[in-house]
Amino acid sequence: MKKIFTTLLFTLAIFSMANAAFELKRTVFVGQNAQGAAANAFNSNNLVCFVGDTVEFKWFSGQQHFVGAVGGPWPVADVMVVSGFTFTAQNTTYQFVIPTAGTYSYTCFTHAGMSGAFNATVNPASVKTTPTFSVELKSFPNPAKENLNVAFNSNSSTKGQFEVYDIQGRAVIKEEIEIIPGANIYSLSVVTLNSGLYFMEVYQDGKKIGVKKFAKN
């Protein structure tokens, strides 16, 4: 990992640690007779959530379930939108952090009538105690061949992490980084990755601060 010190003009607003208290993980089981549900079903298939919650889709049974987004404010770069996710006994879990309010619909394209949704609203308590948070990431070149450069701003010195996932939601790279105050540019080696689309997540103090889609040649 190489760190290059160059001035960049990006903005980072501060995220309150109190926000963690309002974030929950909610599980949707996928498969035949999922947790007592009918064959080939999602359970629960009608969650009520808050923005910031994590919805964990988890394989329960059956040979294969190809699940994708069919409606709602899913991010355009999310795996459920780009390619869908295939749940099997070997590929069991996909996690989605809800970025904005709305009703997120999904379906299993393998089995007719197997569908579900979750409705997300803003937790009023978090609005009262949590300031606005945003970060702008820049990654280049795209497509990448050997290295992907990642740039962002920070207001503090802290620990961070890069995580790269393939379009099936599988982690293929995890790398610790040292974040410094001001401009940060890192060179992430992607030479071992196969050609295709990937999603890079950047974490600061254990909190996800941004996601970028990139292609590997």
Residue type, 47: L
Per residue in 136-147, is it b (16+ CB within 10 Å) or e — as a string?
A: ebebeeeebeee
Q: In the chain, which residues have pLDDT < 50? A: 1-22, 127-134
Q: How much is the pLDDT for 176?
A: 94
Residue 45 has what pLDDT?
84
Where does a domain end: 128, 154, 173?
A: 128
Structural domain tally of the chain?
A: 2
In which domain, by residue range, is 68 found? 19-128
pTM over 0.75: no
Tell me phi and psi for residue 152, to 5 degrees: -165, 170
Question: Same structural domain for residues 196 and 96?
Answer: no
Identify the pLDDT of residue 137. Answer: 72
Q: Residue 173 maps to which CATH number?
A: 2.60.40.2550
